Amino acid sequence: MAARKKGTRETKKSRAAKIRARLDHPVVDADGHMLEYAPVFLDFLKQVAGPDTVKRYASHSKNTRANQWHKMSRKQVHDHRIARPPFWAVAAAHTRDRATSMLPGLLRDRLDEFGFDYTIVYPTSHDPGESAASRNQDSLYRD
């Protein structure tokens, strides 16, 4: 959970910050998501679980249902009932917003701008599995 730094107020307040200033209680974003930077994530995974786990994880990630969508025909997508992965889920138009989704310190510095006092942040890209069924079928999640 990230908490805002004291004394990091923006000079020009956003609309969210103005609304937050009128409240007499903390505002908590309970469903924040970060976009993991894959090289850092995989390096961390290597440190804590070893290089074989990284290879298995990378192999599994390439074969998730969402990643298969782009390789399938329309009939295969229909038959397997695979939803199209979202293309709008990752900020890309504004570099600072993209960086904010990847750098916890920058997110913390911008909480006032967003009108939050605290945020609970969850992983986005490197969720360890798509479902309980996929985790139960893959030894990657049992080791």
- Select from 137, 135, 125 the least CA-distant residue to 67: 125
Q: What is the mean pLDDT of residues 87-109?
A: 84
- DSSP three-state, residue 123: strand
Confidence category of residue 69, pLDDT binned at 50, 70, 90: confident
Q: Which residue ranges make up each domain of the chain?
A: 1-35+91-127, 36-89
Q: Pick the range with the lowest mean pLDDT from 4-13, 25-34, 124-133.
A: 124-133
**pLDDT of 52 higher than 50:** yes
**pLDDT of 98 higher than 80:** yes
Q: Do 41 and 127 contact (CB within 8 A), yes or no? A: no
pLDDT tens string 114-128: 999 999 998 876 555
Q: Do 30 and 138 contact (CB within 8 A), yes or no? A: no
